Structure 1
């Protein structure tokens, strides 16, 4: 069989990328143990807990000393801090000197063929989770991933244990009054609980568990909702995507997906907003016109504050029950908290599910949001909040329909958004 030039180039590129591990791999399967919340927020740290990497790190005297310092604080704080919440939380964060120390030790310990080297080549690079830094050497990439996740760990403690304002205070803030007397008691209880159950001996283990425990007591598990998606809510769609196994089959459709962003209600008792329903109807129209084999419904548990309703989940139910869209045609994206991440997270799913990222998708939504997404102001917002554009815009078909082309920069973890990293 004779390959077309474009197909041959694609085959050669993919095979070379796989052999050299120079970028994200569709075949890469993210790990899902021991904690999905941890893996979504602190993926590099989770990889550092692998047996081979962990042996290297726990045998290093400087890193053992840092672990002891954090663990000793847990034991000391419950005896000395009383009702001073900041006394408990502050030392659990990493100082700039501590971050720099770890960076130096990772650099010194890294070898291409040891556990740290294999971690980078077999997981960190093919996962694409730090794709914005793929021009760095493997050693530098490992250090950069550590530094960003340390900052993210500090940020999580600052927001959910100390009450610092997050990027979006109206929907993502701490659940407690940090100035109340009872909050000092809570800080003691969280610290004492971790002191008793802390079993990880990695240098970052106590601090990471502390950040995760504060997320838990705040009721903030959104990052893990419905995960692992390909085996839960997206199982039918994932298998259907695998059945469309050739470029020729995908060629029957103008677009890879129809992205329908969510819209949260203002009433906590309402599961799906009127605007959300209308957006679903628009998306279903495009689906039944045969423009794409899938509808992506995107939106997490966002509005109002601490709602229990997932925009995407409720939209999926509405599409199936009211509009008779088959489940295999609906991809759930239940984590996005903003329009910027509606697009970013959709690109992630396209790539992870082996769908053609070189093929355009269609954003179908109500007029005001569609015009906003097509604006220069929205592009600037993406650059400001994400550090890149997760898309490239194509043709505008109508007031409600706009083409987009995915950017694989979307695979990058956002270290200061623990509810949707």
Structure 2
């Protein structure tokens, strides 16, 4: 894309942002359960935005759905002898998804609680940007369908043992063929029927079971370092507000992590080298911040977070101030290194019209520059616009609001 075309495209984005019909820079999602909010944001809003939760809690159609679901789960306790029998009863089935989506659409009005929820939260969040061209009522329905799909996927993988997209690092922690595993599933179903809170809203039994599955698998990765603005990114986030962006050509330098392959190793040689290069560029004044990106990925179930270890190395060994370093402790793939960086730029109020750069080794830098097709395949969108190639190890990128779209089939980093 040449400079003129990019400027026109950017102008269109900003006009939409100003009109309030698109994601808002600086929007902060609500909900204290970060795993839940990141995976199932509409369901989180319906639970936490009281006017909306009261509206749906008293709707007779949705009340009936809740009672039917809980009765089906109760029935599994005496009739099921295999995992699929339990999970099929707990998950949203196609008829439930259709009925709930239609009912939410019928309940929607521009001037009621659901209308406010869509206008004040759903659209500004960008979490369902894939449906931005739909009417608000249809956006609400599609957002529910997406969350239901995400809940079902989580249960399939972390209860049923379905292979995730990256089984070597993201798969279930249990041997689903073990004779004793059925008790794990049974006990989870019992929990759903004994917790009276599950009867309050129609989606709670299935959603809470999905969250239970992530918890017992030790897979609450989406909550790493959260709330980041009060923990890992506290110092840098505070400094963002007082940064004179006109002094810098770039907003930040993104450093994608390279996970160690051996158990017990906290940081790889590749990550160390990338940190050194980025720290040198930052000291030259290229950008006011460095963002290190990478979750607890390699090897399987590692206790070490790539981003946290890179930040620690830069502070302790390279003497980079803590308020210079932003962390993304969630990315599990190269695509999400870029996506999560773009997300944090939007969430933290960093200028979206100014580019950021990646600083890594030559091989990965070349790969990243040609990664658009992989992004389309795995994320169904490209979260950035490619800028100029600066050197064999450095590439410009412009963040796009598409990055805010939730990925319903990556519950560890949705």
TM-score (norm 2): 0.94
In structure 2, the partner of 1:288 is 283
Contact 1:159 1:166 in 2 (8 A): yes
SS at match of 1:199: helix
Alignment equivalent of 1:137, drawn from 119, 135, 149: 135
- The answer to whether the aligner puts 1:309 opposite 2:311 as a matched pair is no
Aligned residues: 403
1:169 maps to which residue? 167
Counterpart residue number, 1:85: 83
CA deviation after TM superposition for structure 1 residue 196, in Å: 2.2
Shift in Å, 1:27: 4.1
1:326-357: CA deviation from partner (whole Å, max 9, x where unpaired): 00000010000000000000011111111111
Counterpart contact for 2:353–2:398, Cα < 8 Å:
yes
1:357 is aligned to 352
* Residue among 264, 271, 274 paired with 1:269: 264
**Correspondence 1:328 to 2:326:** no
| Structure 1 stretches of 4+ moved >4 Å | 10-18
8 Å contact 1:198–1:206 — kept in the other structure? no
Q: Deviations over 1:108-149 (max 9, x none)?
A: 110111111110011111111112221111111111100111
**Aligned-residue CA RMSD (Å):** 1.7
- Partner residue of 2:3? none
2: CA distance, partners of 1:323 / 1:110: 55
Q: Alpha-carbon deviations, 1:8-43, whole Å to 9, x = none?
A: xx999969845x53111224221133x221111111
Distance 1:102 1:212 in 2: 20
CA contact (8 A) 1:70 1:92 kept: yes
* Alpha-carbon distance in structure 2 between the residues aligned to 1:64 and 1:311: 45
CA offset at residue 59 of structure 1?
A: 2.0
Q: Would the aligned equivalents of 2:31 and 2:45 in 1 still touch at CA under 8 Å?
A: no
Alignment of 1:15-414 (within 5 A): 17=17, 20-33=19-32, 35-49=33-47, 50-81=49-80, 83-200=81-198, 201-244=200-243, 249-375=244-370, 378-414=371-407
Further displaced range: 186-195 or 331-340: 186-195
Give 5+ residue unaligned stretches, structure 2.
Answer: 1-9
Structure 1 stretch 47-56 or stretch 220-229: which is displaced more? 47-56
Unaligned runs of 5+ in 1: 1-9
More off after superposition, 43-52 vs 208-217: 43-52
1: distance between equivalents of 2:299 and 2:77? Answer: 36
Q: For residues 66 and 278 of structure 1, do their structure 2 counterparts lie closer, same or farther at Cα, with a shift above 3 Å needed?
A: same
TM-score normalized with structure 1 length: 0.92
Aligned-pair distance for 1:99? Answer: 0.9
Aligned-pair distance for 1:153?
0.6
Q: C-alpha distance in 1, partners of 2:120/2:89?
A: 34
